[in-house]
Amino acid sequence: MAFPDLAVNAIYTILCLVPGFISVKTLTYIGDLDTDMSEFEKSTWSFIASGVSLSVTYFAYVAWTTVTTGRFVLIRSLDITWIEVVTIYPVLLLVAAVVGYLSAKVFVRTLGNPTGPRPENVQ
């Protein structure tokens, strides 16, 4: 029995958005940010973070295949099965957490912590 196309698309959509939510939550937790974002803003930032995480994972795959095959091809077709999705998904979630962590470190380093004391005000 096969899933209808709409159900498969909904599953893929959820699977693709979860890494972004992990990145945003990691960023707000590590950066110690107290954010009052609307649901729209959370969804938008999660969508952007998912794109970043998926892109980083894809380019890591391109780098890996370049090293293993000795041929650099920037655009590779990905015809993956459910088993491969289940295998690679934890790697994608790890990449999402790393993206959120690095983003938090860059954010706090460049802009400071907006919820904590400013460095110039601390004596």
pLDDT one-digit tens code per residue, 36-77: 888 898 889 999 999 999 999 888 888 888 899 888 888 877
Q: Residue 103: CA atoms inside 13 Å, Cβ hemisphere, count? A: 22
Confidence band of 109 (pLDDT split at 50, 70, 90): confident
Rounded (10°) angle between helices 5-30 and 39-69? 100
Burial of 122 (0-12, 13-18, 19+ CB in 10 A): exposed
d(CA 46, CA 50): 6
pTM (predicted TM-score): 0.75
Three-state SS at 53: helix
**In Å, what is the CA distance from 112 to each residue of 3, 18, 103, 104, 117?**
48, 27, 13, 10, 9
Do the Cβ atoms of 62 and 74 come closer than 8 Å?
yes
One-letter amino acid of 85: V
18, pLDDT greater than 80: yes
Q: Between vectors from CA 56 to CA 5 and to CA 93, what angle results, nearest 5°?
A: 65
